[in-house]
A = this chain, B = another copy of it.
Amino acid sequence: MNYDALFSSVGQGLQQSAIRQMGTVAAQNPNLISLAPGYPDPGTFAWDAYLEITEALLTQRGRATLQYGPTQGHPPLVAACVDLLRERGIAATPQELLITTGSQQGLDLVARVLLDPGDVVLVELPSYTGAIAAFKNVQASLVGIPQQADGIDLEALDDTYRRLAHDGRRVKFLYLVPNFQNPTGLLVSLAKRRALLEWASRRDVLLVEDDPYGALYFEDTTTAAETRPIKADDTGQRVIYLTSFSKTLSPAFRTAIMVAPPALADRFEIGKQAADLCTSNFDQAIVLEAINRGVLARQLPLLRQHYQRNRTVMESALRASLGEAATWVTPRGGFFLWVSLPDAVDTHRMIARAVAQGVIYVAGGAFFVDGTGANTLRLSFSLATPEKIVEGVTRVAAAVKEELAALGAAALVGR
């Protein structure tokens, strides 16, 4: 049978995620140190609390606990999320909320409900590959906007918008990760957040604000106030906000929150019906109990310290082993440290050397929708132990030095 002739244009265009590919490489080479995936450290999880919670849930045998649930979400969890969001400055009604099967599902719903083939989505350069994949799968046209140290370049943003509008192109939304972006770790300034909201209103586009890392700011440099979601000031109802429990409680609960203006939230809910009917009621009940019992609130300060320490370890190791050849911005939260190497280095090609050295990272090119970024790479400090982080960075440095030596003196011209 000729299967190739059967695929839809979407099916033909599907592309393997660069991050997930690295996950496969890591699974096949258990001795590799992986600085690739943005996985939380299971050592930080509240295992004892989950043991108590599941014991209570499975002893009480609530009729909803192991049953199908409403597509919108387990109603008491929706109510609890309204309160959680209020603590982050977001005043949302339950009708504006949807519990999604991870934030990836939120991105997928945004794509399907809002994007026709050829519609333009503006994204940061670089941007999160999971979002890029979801938008590309519906054949949207992705246009990148450069970032500065405090976030997206507003002048370039409006220039791009005007150029596209002049060409008759329809910009549906700007997608951004303002808090400790995946992959760069950058934090968008509060001034820039306000400016983005004004811009969106002026140009009549939506903002899709993806915020999995906002609660994981590092207290040595950053306050909660600096992570205030754009959605918190969204008086014009033009922000779709996504956040998740995957980085704070566990990714295995596949429980995330989507907040959208009611007219959009209704459509996302109907889209979710056909996507997976509902998110697991059991997982949602665990998350609800973790909120109600104070587990989440107790976890957050511990997680901030934990990942801050890992970040410091990684940055020190990087400075010691690669300070001459690499540049980066110190992450003030989140899971990622973003490294730029001399222009001549191709980090995708360099992966073979890294694997030979016993380490993997994610080559930066996958995060750029404009084909640039070949000299960048993403290092994750979230999962490895401090010892492995130091050893892993040392191995990355060895691979870089080999690559530079192979390229010769010409390699440094681009710096």
By a beta-carbon cutoff of 8 Å, the part of chain A in contact with chain B is 1, 3-4, 6-11, 14-17, 20, 23-24, 27, 37, 39-40, 42, 45, 47, 50-51, 54-55, 58-59, 61, 63, 65-71, 101-102, 104-105, 107-108, 112-116, 119, 130, 133-134, 137-138, 172, 204, 206, 236-238, 246, 250-254, 261, 263-264, 267, 270-271, 273-283
A113 to B276, CA, bound (A): 16
Q: Which residues of B contact A11 (CB under 8 A)?
A: 112-114, 267, 271
A312 CA / B415 CA spacing, docked (Å):
79
In the bound complex, residues from chain B placing their C-beta under 8 Å from that of A275 are 104-105, 108, 275
B271 in contact with A115 (CB, 8 Å):
no
Is B119 within 8 A of A8, CB to CB?
yes
Across-interface contacts of A3 in B (CB, < 8 A): 261, 263-264
Closest 9 CB pairs of A and B: A11-B113, A252-B282, A66-B250, A54-B54, A3-B263, A133-B274, A51-B58, A14-B270, A66-B252
Residue pair A14, B271 in contact (C-beta under 8 Å): yes
Q: For the complex, what is the distance from the CA of A51 to the CA of B65, rounded to whole Å? A: 13
Interface pair A58/B54, CB less than 8 Å apart: yes
Minimum C-beta distance from A16 to chain B (A)? 6
Q: Is the CB of A20 within 8 A of B273?
A: yes
Chain B residues, CB < 8 A from A281: 251-252
Write the nearest CB–CB distance from A31 to chain B, whole angstroms: 15
B1 touches A204 (CB 8 A): yes
Integer count of this chain's copies in the complex: 2
Tell whether, in the assembled complex, residue B112 and residue A10 are in contact, meaning their CB atoms are under 8 Å apart.
yes
By a CB distance below 8 angstroms, the chain B residues around A112 are 8, 10-11, 137
Smallest CB gap from A14: residue in B: B270
**B55 and A16 form a contact (CB under 8 A):** no
The docked-state distance in angstroms from the alpha carbon of A224 to that of B8 is 36
Option from B7, B58, B70, B252 in Cβ contact (under 8 Å) with A113: B7
Tell me the complex Cα distance, A278–B71, Å.
19
Whether the pair A252, B104 counts as a contact (CB closer than 8 A) is: no
The residues of B that contact A17 with a CB separation of less than 8 Å are: 270, 273-274
Give chain B residues whose Cβ lies under 8 Å from the Cβ of A8: 112-116, 119, 138
CB within 8 A of A70: which of B7, B10, B23?
A: B23
Complex contact A68–B37 (CB within 8 A): yes
Residue of B nearest to A50 (CB): B58
Task: Please determine whether B67 and A42 come into contact, CB atoms closer than 8 angstroms.
Answer: yes
Cβ contact within 8 Å between B66 and A102: no
Bound CA span A276–B109, Å: 10
Write the nearest CB–CB distance from A204 to chain B, whole angstroms. 7
11 CB < 8 A contacts A-B: A1-B204, A6-B206, A8-B112, A10-B116, A23-B70, A39-B68, A51-B58, A66-B251, A66-B252, A104-B276, A250-B282
Give the distance to chain B from A106, nearest Cβ to Cβ, in Å.
10
Picked from B37, B254, B263, the residue with its CB within 8 Å of the CB of A279 is B254
